[in-house]
A and B are shown apart, each in its own frame.
Chain A
Amino acid sequence: MDDPVLAAIRRSVVEVLPEVDGQLVTEDRSLTDLGANSIDRVDVVTMTMDDLGVTVPVVEFREVHDIGTLARLLRRHVR
């Protein structure tokens, strides 16, 4: 079973990028690898925050460079 944060990221990726196979959404890949453009990436992040019911200040996303670092950041905010 997936952890809930990665599952939420996967749901958002598939909604924003319908052509992407959800199985490819893994912590070692980046959203860019999956074909996301600059706005797609922000969309995925916003939708995932919404899905998980968390709010993360924009400044904290500076440390995010792949799906793994995104998942770790979001996990810190999930209670």
Chain B
Amino acid sequence: MTGGHEVVVTGTGVLCATAADTDAFADALRAGRSGIGVRPGSGVDGLSPRLAADLSGFDFRTAVAARSGLSEPLRRLAVRVAGRAPLPVQAAVVVALEGWQRAGLHHVPLPAERIGVVVAGHNLGGRYADEVRPRYATSPVHLPARYPLQFMDTDHVATVSHVLGVTGEGYTVGGASASGNVAIINGARLVSAGSVDACLVLGALTDLSAMELQGFYNLGAMAGTGGTDAPGERCRPFDADREGFVPGQGAACVVLESAGSAARRAAPVWARVAGYALRLDANSLADPSAAGETAAMAGAVRSAGLTPERVGYVNAHGTGSAAGDAVEVEALRAVFGGAVTGVWVNSTKGLIGHTLCAAGVVEAVATLVQMRDGFVHPNANLRRPIAADCRFVGDRAQPAGIEFALSNGFGFGGFNTSVVFARPAVPSRRQP
């Protein structure tokens, strides 16, 4: 990218069905561990969704206590401010604390007004609203006093800024399933423009209500319509027998920082945000568009000053939906031409489900750990690939030295996004 400050990633945090932090996530991805299962209490009549990749055994106080490298007052404040917050906000605080710690912002701080918070997501608390609704129905005055604060997605920005004492710019951004990349792009612009020195970009846990889940199911977008057996094999991105996405609970954080600020603080540099592009399809439907996806990927590669064959890896949007995966393959061919046979492609959603608004940030972390540790993770359940010319990772992780990676995010309503990460000259190492 030309002009402005160079933007690097100095910290990460993640919470999903298979991992409670970045290093556990790297291990789970390398092992190809799946977090997909049957949601307790779901019906077996084929009329409603029953598969999910939910967090297992998440407890906010335990998760905050596990950040033992952070000061006790900070951990106490986190519990005080978010101890009774809905799950999505608690998840945001947990991943923000991990990102804060990994970026060393607790050791070598920045002025509070030089740090921003951009939260990816909208319509985040549907399930929490489901929990509160019966109380409203029986006695409106007994609605929890916090509800008017909590039902606004901006509660994520407010709560994280309160816990970390951040006073720079902050807001939520939305782009359906592309929200995560939309937030990374916005955070990168804040840093590049010099509006802040560092920006926490948070992919917010999208906790769908029963009605919202049913809506996706009725649309035919979700896996599980084809039968009720073998739940672990229902989500199969890029496979001929795919039947849709599985919703996943997940949240993630990337700390974007100007290269100058990172150098002054001697912060670890995971990668450089080398380029990005966001394109609309001028289409309000759920139909993916090869032209839009091609424009986003090609635009991102161009803005990084690269030619496509320099890209070694694509973290695909790859939800496992019939139309979406086929269109993404078409777009990959259009962008890479003959070089498509040399580019590793995998989908993180086959392992941890589709984390919806958080997906772009969760998958940025997946991309960054694969670059750091030199591997590409397996594709879940990929037995009959829909494209023989694409270099899909098989059922085992493969060693891979990735210099440039592309991370895709596409959303209903024609949101197409792609972000390019570049391995730094001096790569960050996994801490012992």
Beta-carbon contact of A39 and B84 below 8 Å: no
Beta-carbon contact of A55 and B141 below 8 Å: yes
User: In the complex, A56→B142 CA distance in Å?
Assistant: 10
B147 nearest in chain A by CB position: A46
Q: Please, which residues of chain A bring their CB within 8 A of the CB of B146?
A: 39, 43
Beta-carbon contact of A43 and B142 below 8 Å: no
Beta-carbon contact of B83 and A45 below 8 Å: no
Beta-carbon contact of A50 and B145 below 8 Å: no
116-149 of chain B: CB within 8 A of chain A: 135, 139, 141-146, 149
Q: Please, which residues of chain A bring their CB within 8 A of the CB of B141?
A: 46, 49, 55-56, 58
Beta-carbon contact of B149 and A50 below 8 Å: no
User: In the complex, A16→B84 CA distance in Å?
Assistant: 8
Beta-carbon contact of B142 and A39 below 8 Å: no
B135 nearest in chain A by CB position: A50
175-198 of chain B: CB within 8 A of chain A: none
Name A39's contact: one of B83, B139, B143, B149 (CB within 8 Å): B149
Name A18's contact: one of B83, B135, B139, B145 (CB within 8 Å): B83
* Most chain B beta carbons < 10 A, residue from A16, A56, A58: A16
Shortest distance in angstroms between B134's beta carbon and chain A's nearest beta carbon? Answer: 12
| A18-B83, A39-B149 known; A49+B142 contact, CB < 8 A | yes
Name B145's contact: one of A19, A46, A55, A56 (CB within 8 Å): A46
A42 CB-CB contact with B under 8 Å: yes
Q: Please, which residues of chain B bring their CB within 8 A of the CB of A18?
A: 83
Beta-carbon contact of B139 and A55 below 8 Å: yes
User: In the complex, A55→B141 CA distance in Å?
Assistant: 7
User: In the complex, A42→B145 CA distance in Å?
Assistant: 6
Beta-carbon contact of B84 and A50 below 8 Å: no
Name B143's contact: one of A16, A46, A56 (CB within 8 Å): A46
User: In the complex, A58→B143 CA distance in Å?
Assistant: 13
Q: Please, which residues of chain A bring their CB within 8 A of the CB of B143?
A: 46
* Most chain B beta carbons < 10 A, residue from A43, A45, A50, A58: A50
Interface 0/1 of A5-40, CB less than 8 Å to B: 000000000001011000000000000000000010
Name A43's contact: one of B80, B135, B139, B145 (CB within 8 Å): B145
Name A45's contact: one of B80, B84, B139, B145 (CB within 8 Å): B145
Sort A-B residue pairs by CB-CB distance and give the 10 closest, nearest first.
Answer: A42-B145, A43-B145, A50-B142, A55-B141, A46-B145, A39-B146, A39-B145, A46-B142, A49-B142, A43-B146
**With A19-B80, A39-B149 given, can you name 4 additional A-B contacts, CB distance below 8 Å?**
A43-B145, A46-B142, A49-B142, A50-B135
What are 12 A-B contacts defined by CB distance under 8 Å? A19-B80, A39-B145, A39-B146, A42-B145, A45-B145, A46-B141, A46-B142, A46-B144, A49-B142, A50-B135, A50-B142, A56-B141
